[in-house]
Amino acid sequence: MIHEVSAGNASELMWFKSSYSDSSNGNDCVEIASTPTTVHLRDSKNPQGPRLTVTPTTWAAFLPYASRN
């Protein structure tokens, strides 16, 4: 499930950098914030830009694929 996050909800999230972000520039990474019902993803270079929101089940299914790269 993918849906938009309202600006109010997104500002209250606690964002952290993905451990899979391995760029020579520390600002080039994916940031993640989670709640009990959603996992939010954004580009650290554009924190006010588009965000992707998925369910925890979808995120868990994605992780094995991300760790292969």
- Return the number of other C-beta atoms located less than 10 Å from residue 23's C-beta: 9
- Return the number of other C-beta atoms located less than 10 Å from residue 66's C-beta: 12
Per-residue pLDDT of the chain (69 residues; tens, 9 = 90+): 444 444 345 568 999 886 666 666 666 788 899 999 999 999 888 888 999 999 999 999 988 766 655
For 49: left if phi > 0, alpha if psi spans -120 to 50, otherwise beta; the answer is beta
Tell me the whole-structure pTM to 2 decimals.
0.68
Cβ atoms 27, 44 nearer than 8 A: yes
- Distance, CA of 4 to CA of 51 (rounded, Å): 7
